[in-house]
Structure formats: structure tokens, C-alpha cells
Amino acid sequence: MSHLSQNTSEAYYEVGAVAKISGLSPHTIRTWERRDFIKAANRSTTGRRQYSKDQVNRLILFRQLTQLGDSISALANLSMDDLNARLADFHRVKQTRVTNRTLIIKVYTDQAFDRLSGLSDDFSLIHPAREEDTRNPDLIVLEIDGTEHQFQIALNRACAEFPGVPIVLMYDFLQRDRLRNYGKQGYFLIKKPIPQELLEQYLSTAAGHRQKPGISKTAEEATEAEIKPRMLNDRQLQVIASSTPRIKCECPQHMASLVSSLTGFEDYSARCETESPEDTILHAHLGREVAKARHIVEKALVYLCETDQIDIPDDTV
């Protein structure tokens, strides 16, 4: 229901009316206000929240953009002009797909083909069984399902048949180490289920990257990309942190804490659910860089323990 303010002719809307107009649930509106993403412009004489027309329009944009994959925290401080420009960018990408040629997607697993069969006419799928289709794909899609051995066979085949073509891996649940390794190799990871509009955005983005996942590297690049295994496990770090150093300082404790923090961030980067293919690449890069720092600090800590005669338990990580 809308009301006129006693001090102005401006109309205000209570939560129920805002929910109907914007398509958001009353619970979502209240939650966003509780988290300071929006603030009611007015209060009724009985203390009920009331929102202005501009705020209702803002909430409508919030809903549209969050449905397209944006996070409310990224939108909350943007102006109306910025929000409208952001929405226009989404539509521009979609329009670009329409005006450009159809994206050809080679699908290597039946599950992925079934999942992608509802895509718009902007996409053309090549079924894994249709060997007579000789079109070169813009993108390859596989779904991580079944046994790891079967999936690896399909992935190796895709890499061999179409070198240079970007590869998307769709997954539901995936072990942290595998997720990290696939991201490190440059594959685009999409967690399912996912709304179709957002899926099409991701596929279009991935198709624009022609760098081959798993491409051969120089020895220097391969060494740089390698993630060094941990030298010290959690129990060893705990023992070092609790030790009584011969020198009068707390360096062992501080350095053990630093290694533990860096290791925790590595795990966090691997656990992050990716919002887009770019985010997957970002987290993989962060994980690699932090792993380098962690390895450097670990070596320094081992040197400190040897110099200060601190015993490190002979455990394996």
C-alpha cells in the first residue's frame, strides 16, 4: 500500500507493496535493510518502514542484477546511473551474441548435452555421438560426473582433438584438490545448478578466451606455476609455536602463525565457489601466489628452528 507523507506530496510504499512491485520477498527486503544495503526513507506514525519511489526503482534494479549473478554487496553503494549502466552492459553482451555468429559448442558428455539443450538460438550444440558434424567449435563443454577415469578419457580426447579451444567443466561436488588443479590448468569451472541466463553469459565469456588449457609451458613457467607441497603440517606448527626458543624472542610463534594463516588462505581460495569463469582464474592465481609466499616463510621457519635448535616432530603432512 502507498501513502502520502504528511510533510510532502511524495508517495511512500510499505514493505508489502514494495515486494509486489519489485518481485522481491518481504524477507529479502528486510534482510537487505538489516545489512544496510538499503534504508527506508520514512516511517509511518506507527513505525512501519516506508520506501520512496526511487528506492522501489533501486530495489527493482537490485533484483534484476542479482538474478544475473551480481552480489548485493557489490551493488549497494552504486548510484542509480551506475546500476542502470551495469544492467545495460548485461544486455549489450546478450545483444552482441545475437548480432554475431552463433557460438558452436562441442559437448563431450551426454549429461552436459542434456543440461545445455535448453540454451537459446545463440548457441549451437554438437552432440558427442554425431561424428559427421565437422564444424570447428568455439567452446568445449564437459560435465564432471561418473568415474574420474571416464571423465579423464573424455577430457584428454577433447584436448587432443581441438587444441586451442577453451574448455568448460561443469560440476556439482568436487574435491578441493581437483578443483584447484583444474583452475590452475586454465579450465573454466561452472558450478551447477545455474540459471540459464547466467550460464549463457559464462559460456559467451569463456568462448572469448582462446588460450589452451594444459598448453605446453617452458620449464621456467612450469616451475613458477607449480604449487609447492607443505613442509610443515598443523601439528608441527603447533609444536613450534609452543616451543621455548633459546633466543629471547617470539619469532617461532609469530612465524608459525604466519604459515598457518597463509595455508588457511590457500584452502580458502580452493574452497571459494566461483561466481564466474574469471573468478575461478582469479582464485587459482591468488592460491598460487600465496602458496609461493607460504613456501618461502616455511623455509625461513625451518632455518630458524635449525639455528635455534627447536625440535620439529618427524610427521608427514
- How many CB atoms are located within 10 Å of the residue 184 CB? 18
* Domain shared by 232 and 297, yes or no: yes
* Domain shared by 194 and 244, yes or no: no
* Domain shared by 105 and 201, yes or no: yes
Buried/exposed 56-93: b ≥16 CB within 10 Å, e otherwise: bbbbbbbbbbbebbbebeebeebeeeebeebeeebeee
- Between these two residues, 123 and 223, which has the higher pLDDT value? 123
When mean pLDDT is compared over 118-127, 129-138, 145-154, 205-214, the highest value belongs to 118-127
Residue 312 lies in a domain: no
- Between these two residues, 281 and 66, which has the higher pLDDT value? 66
Residue 213 lies in a domain: no
Buried/exposed 254-288: b ≥16 CB within 10 Å, e otherwise: ebbebbbebbebbeebbebebbbbeebbbbbeebb
Residue 315 lies in a domain: no
pLDDT recorded at residue 315:
65
Residue 148 lies in a domain: yes
Residue 314 lies in a domain: no
Q: Which three cell numbers stand for residue 251?
A: 619469532
Can you give the three-state secondary structure of 87-102, one letter per residue? HHHHHHHHHHHHHCCC
* Domain shared by 91 and 183, yes or no: no
pLDDT grade for 209, boundaries at 50, 70 and 90:
low
Residues 265-272 have a mean pLDDT of 75
Average pLDDT, the chain: 78
Q: Does the model's pTM come out above 0.75?
A: no
- Structural domain of residue 172, as residue ranges? 101-207
* Domain shared by 67 and 16, yes or no: yes
Residue 214 lies in a domain: no
* Domain shared by 260 and 282, yes or no: yes
Measured between its terminal Cα atoms, the distance across the chain in Å is 62
DSSP lists the bridge partners of residue 51 as 13
Residue 255 lies in a domain: yes
pLDDT recorded at residue 219:
33
* Domain shared by 193 and 270, yes or no: no
* Domain shared by 243 and 265, yes or no: yes
Domain end point (choices 207, 232, 256):
207
Q: Total domain count for the chain?
A: 3
Domain end point (choices 39, 73, 96):
96
Q: Name residue, grid cell 552482441.
A: 96
The answer on pLDDT for 309 being more than 50 is yes
Edge-to-edge strand order for the sheet containing 123-126? 123-126, 103-107, 139-143, 167-171, 188-191
Residue 317 lies in a domain: no
Instruction: Please state, in angstroms and rounded to a whole number, the distance separating the CA atoms of residues 60 and 72.
Output: 12
Alpha carbon 299 to its chain centroid, in Å, reads 31
* Domain shared by 230 and 264, yes or no: yes
Which CATH number is 14's domain given?
1.10.1660.10
pLDDT recorded at residue 9:
53
